Structures are given as C-alpha cells and as structure tokens.
Amino acid sequence: MKIAVLGAGAWGTGLAVRWAGSAQVTLWARNPEHLAAMRASRCNERYLPNVALPEALGLASDLAEAVRGVDYLVAAVPSAGFRGLLQQLAELRCRLPLVWLCKGFEAGSMKLPHAVLAEAWAGRGPAGVLSGPSFAQEVAAGQPAALTLAAADEAFARRAAQDLHAPALRLYSSSDVIGVEIGGALKNVIAIAAGVSDGLGFGHNARAALVTRGLAEMTRLGLKLGGRMETFMGLSGLGDLILTCTGDLSRNRQVGLRLAQGQSLEGILRELGHIAEGVTTAREACRLAGELSIEMPIADAVRRLLDSELTPKEAVAALLNREQKDEGV
Ligand SMILES: NC(=O)C1=CN([C@@H]2O[C@H](COP(=O)(O)OP(=O)(O)OC[C@H]3O[C@@H](n4cnc5c(N)ncnc54)[C@H](O)[C@@H]3O)[C@@H](O)[C@H]2O)C=CC1
Ligand SMILES: O=C(CO)COP(=O)(O)O
C-alpha cells in the first residue's frame, strides 16, 4: 500500500508516522525550508516535536513527486487549505482515491469539506472523510485510537477503512459523510466553550452540561443538513466531543482556557502556532444556523466571545439566563 500524506502539520505527521510501520508513506510539506529541517533532524520540530520520523517515511516538497504511483491521497491540511490543495492536485491531473482529515467549515462560504470537494474534485476518484477522537501525539506514539471513515460510496468506505487501518488504529466505515463532518466541526466550537468554563474555574457539572447541550446543538444542525442520529452518538460525534472538551492536548480547548484568562484571541493563536478550527467554524456555523432558523446558543455565545461582543463571564451569563425550555434535542 502506498500513501501520500499531503500536509505536514501535527495530524498529517502523526498519521504518516503511524502508517509508515505498515505501508509505504510519503509526507508532503508545502514549505521547502520546513521539509529541509525535517530531513536534517528526522523530526517535525515545528508541529509534532519529540516524535522521531521513521527511516522508512519518505519526505517530499514537490507535490508531483509525492503523489506519483500512490494508492491513496490523504489531504491533511486545515479546512482553509483544502480547496487550494485539491486545485493543485487537479492541475497535476491526479485521479486517485482521496481521504480528507480537516474538521471545519470553509471560511466565508459556510461549506463543509464534502461540498468543497464536489466543486473541486468532481470525477477525479472516490473520496471519504476520516474523523474521530484522535490526538496526533497519541497516534504517533502508537497508542490505541478508533476513528470513522465515511464515504458516500459505502463500498469505498469499507475498502479504505480496511486499507488504512494500522496496528492500534481501528477504523470503522460509514456512509454518513455529513454527520461525520458536522461532528468533527462542531466539537471544536464546544471545546472552546468547555475551555472557557474550566478556565473560569467552573466545575465538572458545568463541563458535563456543555458537552451534553453541545451534543444537542451538533445533532440539531446535523439532522437538518441530512446527517444521521447514530453518527452524532458515535466516534466522530460524541466520541470526539468528549476528547476535545476534556483533553488538554486540544488546541480548541486551549483557546477557551486562555480566553478565560483574559488573553486576546490574536495572541492566543500566535502563541499556539497551530490551527484551531473552532474559531472559523463558530462564525460559519452560526451564520448557517441563522439561515436555517436553528438554535445554537453555545455556538452563538462562543462566536460572540471570539468577536469581542461578550466577555467570558458575560458569555456564561448569556447561556444561563436563557428562557426555560424542554430538554429535547
Ligand atoms: N492535530 C490533531 O490531533 C488533529 C487534527 N485534525 C484536523 O486536521 C487538520 C490539520 O490539523 P493539524 O495538522 O493538527 O494542523 P497544524 O496547525 O498542526 O498544521 C497545519 C498544517 O497545514 C499547513 N497549512 C496551513 N494552512 C494551509 C493552507 N492554507 N494551505 C495548505 N496548507 C496549509 C501548515 O503549513 C501545516 O503544515 C485540521 O482540520 C484539524 O482539525 C484532526 C484530527 C486530529
Ligand atoms: O480533532 C482533534 C482530536 O480528535 C484535535 O483537536 P484540536 O484541533 O482541538 O487540537
């Protein structure tokens, strides 16, 4: 099996390291200087420090070289870079099975990755999304994780899950692309809220309430867009929501924790040095929810906090002072 992992951030590198034990893998970095540094140190100091790159892992900064002769393309760039990467691949006349990893909406268009793919990858090969609870550091270290691979073409989802599984990396297949994408995108927004709550010193009760009501919001939007209930209760929904709301390795949770301490969003993102998809997704999901008349109070409070319309304490008060309602989704 030959795999090209396109994007050398934390997640692309983590998976490339994992897959290199059982497949022939090339990791592509768009920045030649970044690639040269990885070649020299056999480590991705910038995005996944303290993880040795196996000797067998190929490195390339030339996209054409990275994709030559492979069985799978794995798009490991953030949502903001997905369309651009697909366009570059199309210019190379690539026609290959593709799996994407990004968890978020495209800025400005309110589009999930599958909709971007429909515009930029039509007819170029079967494609699916891989998502679920998976911190890159743990996967790179060979610790167990279970993810979902969803594709509209069920047979492709099953085949890709079989081909891309690795020791301690269990992949389930699904045909619910929208449900899987909504879970991955919305959990990042709720993780910011959970970080704010913990950062303000609230307890386990508050966090459990945010996770549960966050799941209700995710489900409400996801069902409206055509996702399936069981998907939101699965690995890519509730599973990733629990991980990201409770695990300090989450960059989105870190954004919330630091906002609660009074840091500016700009400063936090600069200090993190990684993508926190929940920031863009909060804005896009709230716009979409507005158009669809769907209530998403937690996402709305996060969006207003990110846009400096509320302080962290005011965001909490806005949630607690909403009018009484029935619990149902
Ligand atoms: N880090 C993790 O544990 C996990 C991340 N993800 C998702 O995977 C995606 C990538 O995340 P990470 O690798 O962690 O991010 P990262 O912030 O560690 O690295 C981002 C990588 O993408 C590149 N990049 C940034 N903007 C780009 C653009 N416009 N065009 C092309 N390349 C661009 C950067 O140079 C860098 O190599 C995100 O959507 C994230 O939500 C999913 C599961 C786990
Ligand atoms: O998606 C992730 C784990 O499943 C990583 O979450 P963060 O982007 O918040 O670090």
CATH of the domain at 197: 1.10.1040.10
- Do 120 and 195 sit in the same domain of this protein? no
Using CA atoms, how far apart are residues 314 and 262, in angstroms rounded to an integer?
Answer: 13
- Do 40 and 109 sit in the same domain of this protein? yes
State the average pLDDT over residues 167-184. 98
- Do 164 and 232 sit in the same domain of this protein? no
- Do 123 and 269 sit in the same domain of this protein? no
Nearest residue (by CA) to ligand 1, atom 1, is 11
User: 134 C-alpha vs ligand 2 centroid, how far in Å?
Assistant: 7
- Do 159 and 306 sit in the same domain of this protein? no
> Could you report how far apart the first and last alpha carbons of the chain are, in Å?
43
Is residue 148 within 8 Å of 180, Cβ to Cβ? yes
CATH number of the domain residue 134 falls in: 3.40.50.720
pLDDT > 70: percent of the chain: 100
Known binding residue 308? Answer is: no
Q: What pTM value is reported for the model?
A: 0.98
pLDDT at 234 over 90: yes
In eight-state DSSP terms, residue 235 is: I
Which of 175, 195, 219 lies at the terminal end of a domain, its last residue?
Answer: 175
- Do 122 and 236 sit in the same domain of this protein? no
pLDDT at 247 over 90: yes
Which of 146, 175, 204 lies at the terminal end of a domain, its last residue?
Answer: 175
Give the number of whichever ligand sits closest to the CA of residue 80. 1
Is residue 265 within 8 Å of 311, Cβ to Cβ? no
For residue 220, tell me if it sits in a domain: yes
- 3-state DSSP call for residue 113? helix
pLDDT at 194 over 80: yes
User: 244 C-alpha vs ligand 2 centroid, how far in Å?
Assistant: 6
- Do 137 and 51 sit in the same domain of this protein? yes
State the average pLDDT over residues 82-96. 97
pLDDT at 69 over 80: yes
Q: Is 284 in the pocket of ligand 2 (CB under 6 A)?
A: no
User: 250 C-alpha vs ligand 2 centroid, how far in Å?
Assistant: 5
What integer pLDDT is reported at residue 225 of this predicted model? 98
The tokens describing 60, both together, are 């390339």
For residue 142, tell me if it sits in a domain: yes
- Do 20 and 66 sit in the same domain of this protein? yes
State the average pLDDT over residues 289-313. 98
- Do 47 and 117 sit in the same domain of this protein? yes
- 3-state DSSP call for residue 18? helix
- Do 126 and 182 sit in the same domain of this protein? no
In the block, tokens 């709301």 appear at 245
Backbone torsion region of residue 205, taken as left when φ is above 0, otherwise alpha when ψ lies between -120 and 50, otherwise beta: alpha
State the average pLDDT over residues 47-68. 98
State the average pLDDT over residues 49-74. 98
For residue 326, tell me if it sits in a domain: no
State the average pLDDT over residues 35-63. 98
Which of 175, 194, 214 lies at the terminal end of a domain, its last residue?
Answer: 175
Q: How many domains does the chain have?
A: 2
The tokens describing 97, both together, are 């099975």
Using CA atoms, how far apart are residues 266 and 277, in angstroms rounded to an integer?
Answer: 14
Average pLDDT, the chain: 97
State the average pLDDT over residues 16-42. 98
For residue 8, tell me if it sits in a domain: yes
State the average pLDDT over residues 123-134. 96
For residue 329, tell me if it sits in a domain: no
- Higher pLDDT among residues 235 and 328, named by residue: 235
Which band of pLDDT confidence, cut at 50, 70 and 90, is reported for residue 321?
confident
Is residue 73 within 8 Å of 85, Cβ to Cβ? no
Q: Element (H or E) spanning 230, and its range?
A: helix 229-232
| Phi and psi, residue 234, nearest 5° | -100, -165
State the average pLDDT over residues 100-118. 98
- Do 194 and 107 sit in the same domain of this protein? no
pLDDT at 329 over 90: no
Known binding residue 314? Answer is: no
Q: Is 8 in the pocket of ligand 2 (CB under 6 A)?
A: no
Q: Is 130 in the pocket of ligand 1 (CB under 6 A)?
A: no
- Do 248 and 317 sit in the same domain of this protein? yes
- Residues identified as active-site: 187
- 3-state DSSP call for residue 126? coil
For residue 328, tell me if it sits in a domain: no
Using CA atoms, how far apart are residues 311 and 260, in angstroms rounded to an integer?
Answer: 8
For residue 144, tell me if it sits in a domain: yes
Give the number of whichever ligand sits closest to the CA of residue 138. 1
Domain enclosing residue 8, as ranges: 2-175
What integer pLDDT is reported at residue 328 of this predicted model? 83
pLDDT at 112 over 80: yes
Known binding residue 132? Answer is: yes
